[in-house]
Amino acid sequence: MVCTGVYQAIPIRSSAYMWCQMSLELQRPGATVIPLIISSDKTQLTLFGGKMAYPVYMTIGNIPKEIRRKPSRHAQILIAYLPTTKLEGFNNKSACRRAITNLFHSCLQHIFEPITLYGETGIAMASGDGVWRRCHPIFACFVGDYPEQVLVTCTYSGYCPKCLVPPDELGEPNTFPSRNYREALVLYSLAEGDAHPFHAACCEAQLKPVFCPFWENFPLADIYLLVTPDVLHQLLQGVMKHLILWLTSSDAFGPAAIDARCRLILPNHHIKLFSKGITTLSRILGKEYKAICCILIGLVVDLPLPCGQVPT
């Protein structure tokens, strides 16, 4: 498989999901796969004082996405709070970062330990129709922003958590090989021996020297395939932010013309109105970016460009 610097999402009911179902069916017929979707994000609780929380949420892929995505339906459940300690006792910053990473993986390994057993043997569960089935909970997806993805995949910041693209070529339209999950398992098995060869091998593979990644014992799970794109930061607040800044710059259409078009939009039930324009917004959230995406093409259609350039 190949990957570029900007990767696409893989739906739960994809070829990987079907391959997992078929693998279990060949081993023990009658298997019912329960894809586990794990998400986590370190949250700042106070503006002053530095109080933080580190929740871990879980849902399953058997629930339709229309239900999972709505907080009011309570399809996401809180399963744990991870420690947010900064380990002030360490004098070496590198050693402190390694200790925090190992603490993170050790906690998740303890939380998801039952998955290793029941993912292979299965556990009897009653579904909503009252039928008992042998269910296999399989770690199928991890949802998090880029710092969380780097932490989970044991990669370094600035590198792609899914493929071997060099940091200076991120976003380029070139293809690069995906990270090899089997090679990573072999690499982390060296942690049981001498620490020096292990650290040297991790440095060569551009992976963090984590002694026990929480995903190394999961059945039918490839951590480099289970990481999803961060739509909020990568697409909405990344690509769209730069696109809007470019369109509203003086080299393109300019802020006055874009804001004037915003004020001319007629009221509609399906779009959000920006009566004062979009260039005056100080803090734009994900909902505002999605609303701007719905009207962005309409704002620039037939607008004249400077120096007589053709708008198309």
60 plus 209 within the same structural domain: yes
Measured in whole angstroms, the distance separating CA 241 from the mean position of its chain's CA atoms is 19
Integer Cα distance of 189 and 185 in angstroms: 6
End-of-domain residue from the set 169, 196, 228: 228
**What mean pLDDT is reported for the chain?**
85
State whether residue 168 is helix, strand or coil: helix
pTM of the model: 0.78
174 plus 285 within the same structural domain: no
Q: Name the pLDDT band for 172 (thresholds 50, 70, 90).
A: confident
Structural domain containing residue 93: 2-228
> pLDDT tens for residues 93-124?
888 999 999 999 999 999 998 888 888 888 99
**pLDDT beyond 90 at 310:** no
Which residues share a beta bridge with 35?
Answer: 138
Bridge-based pairing of strands 2-3 and 55-60 is unpaired
69 plus 168 within the same structural domain: yes
76 plus 187 within the same structural domain: yes
The single residue listed with the structure tokens 């009658």 is: 30
Q: Where are the alpha helices (DSSP H) in 189-254?
A: 195-205, 223-226, 241-247
**pLDDT beyond 60 at 125:** yes
Domain count, the chain: 2
187 plus 248 within the same structural domain: no
More reliable by pLDDT, 235 or 63: 63
Q: Name the pLDDT band for 1 (thresholds 50, 70, 90).
A: very low
Neighbours of 56 (CB within 10 A): 19
56 plus 138 within the same structural domain: yes
End-of-domain residue from the set 228, 257, 284: 228
23 plus 129 within the same structural domain: yes
Neighbours of 78 (CB within 10 A): 9
More reliable by pLDDT, 177 or 31: 177
22 plus 100 within the same structural domain: yes
90 plus 128 within the same structural domain: yes
154 plus 265 within the same structural domain: no
202 plus 238 within the same structural domain: no
Calculate helix-pair angle for 181-188, 195-205, nearest 10 degrees: 160
278 plus 175 within the same structural domain: no
Q: What b/e sequence results for 197-235 when a residue is b if at least 16 CB atoms lie within 10 Å of its CB, and e otherwise?
A: ebeebbeebebbbbeebbbbbbbbbbbbbbbbbbbeeeb
End-of-domain residue from the set 228, 259, 277: 228
Distances in whole angstroms, Cα of residue 200 to Cα of each of 149, 188, 207, 244: 23, 12, 10, 44
